[in-house]
A = this chain, B = another copy of it.
Amino acid sequence: MADMKTTIKSVSIDLFFKKGYFATSISDIAGGSGIQKASIYYHYASKEDLLFHILTSTMDDLTSALKQGLAAAQGIEQRMRAAVRSHVCFHLERQKENFIANAELRGLTADHYRSIVNKRDEYESIFQDLIRQGTDEGVFADVDVKILSYAILTLCTAGATWYNPNGRLTVDEIADIYENFIISGLKQGRFERPAGR
């Protein structure tokens, strides 16, 4: 019994994911929602407004999921593991929205673009702080913070591109693989040696 505004949004997510924002017409969305295209404008001001709503809620949920995931974790390695896991799981569980969020930013007006990029920057900075802390503590190798944060984020983000919910691996299994890969890449050989240096 979802209301029409929610239906329109979810139909749009499906279509934007499948065909892309520019290739999806208001008529397509209306047809998928079971109403006439003029009625879309009762619920959303414009096609771009609809895209902006999708991206905003996705980014907000993404960030709050990360903060929630970090709240419980202690110690820099465990915190980074929690962050990676949160990032991966969110992207795989809400694959379509995240795919759109990474592919259709160009559909936004300048103001809305800024708004979303600001949210993304805030999210990224959490990861960058974790990396910085890890290198300061000597747990991670002395890596380039910017590049490595991009690497970690795009790595997991890319999962939303190829992930198949009916595929061979579960979300948790994929998260395990990424977690180990990334932590190894951050440590770069700094594993606890049998004895002193």
Contacts and interface: CB of A to CB of B under 8 A. Distances in A.
Contact of A177 (B103, B144, B161): B144
Interface residues of A, number: 32
B154 A158 contact: yes
If over half of A's interface residues share one DSSP class (helix, strand or loop), that class is named, otherwise mixed; here it is helix
Interface stretch (A46-54, A62-70, A180-188): A180-188
Interface string A149-162: 01100110110011
Nearest to A167: B146
Nearest to A104: B20
Contacts of A182: 185
A8 to B, nearest CB: 22
A191 B185 CA distance: 12
A143 interface: yes
A45 to B, nearest CB: 20
Contacts of A144: 169, 177
A189 interface: yes
Interface of A: 19-20, 22-23, 103, 106, 143-144, 147-148, 150-151, 154-155, 157-158, 161-162, 169, 174, 177-178, 180-182, 184-185, 187-189, 191, 193
